[in-house]
């Protein structure tokens, strides 16, 4: 029985949590191992995050799994990451399904090895009727590219007369993002102690609460996640208003 979990107010849950799962390489190095050893030991932490969300019914969890910039890492590390993704999907697909989770992927899937892409599409298809929660994997994802794509697509729709320039507002813009079907991020967590965003969901975190943890990703536990939720619930989200205005809302 987790005492931290008991402190969570089920009425004030974030609707969408995003995690930058960072620190696998350093975790491995501190043990005198290769970086890829850290990636292999990251799977359990991923499971912890998914299970924690599932247990308290957070409807959307987005995991930064592989960035567009991560393609520039040594080929051997990229290969290991892609293989791990395929292996993990194979093993975990049933588990994701039986938890009632619907899986989504955001990012430039064209760049992925065909086998990885196919497997992702299979799990997306397998889980498409599930409604208990949504697991969004950001793979080959870069936020600036996502925003540029939206701008390009809006521009061509303007050119074709499908969109009026005067009608371009936040809502319309969001409908061109990969995340169009998901609510904005309420809570962004980054592990590993780095205090940066690394091209992740720049538009979608406009009013997110940010938490940077001094924990390397393979050490991430359910209780750490629950503590993040408790800390989130202790924040006053003002959206530009005064504290007094927020209290009488």
Known catalytic residues are 22, 70
| CB of 13 or CB of 20, closer to ligand IPE | 20
How many residues bind ligand IPE (CB under 6 A)? The answer is 18
Mapping DSSP onto H, E and C, the string for the chain reads: CCHHHHCCCHHHCCCEEEEECCCHHHHHHCCCCCHHHHHHCCHHHHHHHHHHHHHHCCCEEEEEEEEHHHHHCCHHHHHHHHHHHHHHHHHHHHHHHHCCEEEEEECCHHHCCHHHHHHHHHHHHHCCCCCCEEEEEEEEECHHHHHHHHHHHHHHHHHCCCCCHHHCCHHHHHCCCCCCCCCCCCEEEECCCCCCCCCCCCCCCCCCEEEECCCCHHHCCHHHHHHHHHHHHCCCCCCCCCHHHHHCC
Which one of 22-30, 65-73, 103-111, 146-154 is the stretch in contact with Mg ion (CB under 5 A)? 22-30
39 counts as binding Mg ion under rule CB under 5 A: no
Find the binder of ligand IPE among 17, 20, 45, 120 (CB under 6 A): 20
194 counts as binding ligand IPE under rule CB under 6 A: yes
140 counts as binding ligand IPE under rule CB under 6 A: no
Q: Which of residues 53-72 bind ligand IPE (CB under 6 A)?
A: 64-67, 70
211 counts as binding ligand IPE under rule CB under 6 A: no
Q: Which of residues 78-137 bind ligand IPE (CB under 6 A)?
A: 81
How many residues bind Mg ion (CB under 5 A)? The answer is 1
| CB of 5 or CB of 26, closer to Mg ion | 26
36 counts as binding Mg ion under rule CB under 5 A: no
Q: Which stretches of the chain bind Mg ion, using CB under 5 A?
A: 22
Q: Which stretches of the chain bind ligand IPE, using CB under 6 A?
A: 20-26, 64-67, 70, 81, 192, 194, 196, 198, 217
């Amino acid at each position: 029985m987790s005492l931290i979990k008991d402190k969570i107010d089920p009425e004030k849950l974030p609707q969408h949590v995003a995690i930058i799962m960072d620190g696998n390489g350093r975790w491995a190095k501190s043990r005198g191992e290769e970086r890829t050893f850290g990636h292999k030991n990251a799977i359990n932490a991923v499971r912890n995050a998914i299970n924690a969300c599932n247990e308290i019914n957070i409807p959307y969890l987005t995991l930064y799994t592989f960035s567009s910039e991560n393609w520039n890492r040594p080929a051997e590390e990229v290969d290991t990451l892609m293989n791990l993704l395929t292996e993990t999907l194979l093993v975990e697909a049933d588990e994701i399904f039986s938890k009632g989770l619907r899986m989504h992927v955001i990012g430039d899937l064209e760049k992925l090895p065909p086998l990885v892409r196919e497997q992702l599409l299979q799990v997306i298809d397998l889980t498409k009727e599930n409604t208990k929660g949504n697991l969004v994997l950001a793979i080959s994802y870069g936020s600036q590219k996502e925003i540029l794509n939206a701008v390009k697509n809006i521009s061509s729709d303007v050119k074709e007369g499908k969109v009026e320039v005067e009608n371009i507002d936040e809502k319309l813009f969001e409908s061109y993002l990969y995340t169009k079907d998901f609510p904005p991020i309420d809570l962004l967590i980054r592990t590993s102690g780095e205090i940066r965003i690394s091209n992740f969901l720049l538009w979608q975190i406009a009013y997110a609460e940010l938490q940077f943890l001094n924990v390397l990703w393979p050490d991430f536990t359910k209780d750490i996640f629950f503590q993040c939720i408790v800390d989130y619930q202790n924040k006053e989200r003002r959206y530009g208003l005064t504290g007094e205005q927020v209290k009488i809302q």
